[in-house]
Amino acid sequence: MTELRKRMNDAMVLRGLAERTKESYLACVTGLAKYYWLSPDTLDAEAIQSYLLHLITEKKLAYSSVNQAACAFRFLFATVLRQKSVAFDIPMAKVPKRLPQVLTRDEVQRLFAHGGDLRSRAVLMTTYAAGLRLSEVCALQLGDIESAPDRMCIKVRQGKGGKDRYTLLSPRLLDTLRLYWRARRPRLWLFPNSSGDGPLSDQTAQRMYHAARRAAGIEHGGGIHTLRHAFATHLLEAGVDIHTIQRLMGHGHVSTTTRYFHLAHTHLIGTPSPLELLDPD
């Protein structure tokens, strides 16, 4: 796998795939190799289809995860191995569309109040206040916090799709981050790992969220990504226009952002039913 892994990684770098996409694709191909104990370039389409079926029926993976594996295998064979003549009969499963879970403002307040130590509260507050993805909050560096009065923003480096963007820096968040910096004195990474030589891991940030959620008595709420959903929904409820929210969140298409209309209560309350618009008998 070593040579094949290098070839695949090089091909993804040349095509500008995002870091998390590269990691996911390599993990999918590694899983395929371990399942058969064979190099993936020796397998045929039937073997790959059997493996995808195994992921669905035995591993019970979500269809979105299986789709990602199928994309990784297509990339491997068509791009890396240049076997474009090989026909894959791998239907991409339709992923059921569900509305994301969102915390209320009161629940967010309770979450912060039960956030444990100052670092945990700072991580959770930053995720919510800036609408960050998990990977984005973990990768923040001190230089990304632009606190000059005429700037007041956070730079997000290489977000989804490898794109940089700027998002909000709340004055309340800035006060919390300054308290945190005075207590912990991070040097490069805003939230370094325990050894200080790298960024906070995704798993640690998720544990912070779940610990605070349990302590606050919030039964629902999914993972830490719920705070990003709350960011968008609460801004929409406050009257911020959809295109501004799209830019702040780094969505490539406004259609991704418009789903939050379904979650914003202020857009439902007070809206009359068409029945009320009919002439009375």
**180 tagged catalytic:** no
**What is the helix, strand, coil percentage profile of the chain, to 5?**
60, 5, 35
Q: Which of 25, 51, 209, 260 is catalytic?
A: 260
In 3D, which of 125, 123, 163, 135 has the Cα closest to residue 248?
163
| Model pTM score | 0.71
Least confident of 140-144, 225-229, 262-266: 262-266
84 part of the active site: no
Q: Is the pLDDT of residue 69 over 70?
A: yes
Per mean pLDDT, which of 53-67, 89-103, 262-276 is the most reliable?
53-67
Q: Is residue 80 within 8 Å of residue 25, measured between CB atoms?
A: no
- Told to judge if 251 belongs to the known catalytic residues of this protein, a careful annotator would answer yes
133 is catalytic: yes
Structural domains in the chain plus CATH codes: 2-80 (1.10.150.130), 105-267 (1.10.443.10)
Which of 157, 207, 225, 259 does the annotation list as catalytic? 225
**Of residues 36 and 275, more confidently modeled:** 36
Catalytic, 157? Answer no
Query: pLDDT exceeding 70 applies to what percent of the chain?
Result: 85
Q: Is 234 a catalytic residue?
A: no
In this predicted structure, the answer to whether residue 217 has a pLDDT above a threshold of 60 is yes
Distance in angstroms (rounded) separating the CA atoms of residues 281 and 276: 12
Catalytic option among 133, 213, 229, 234: 133
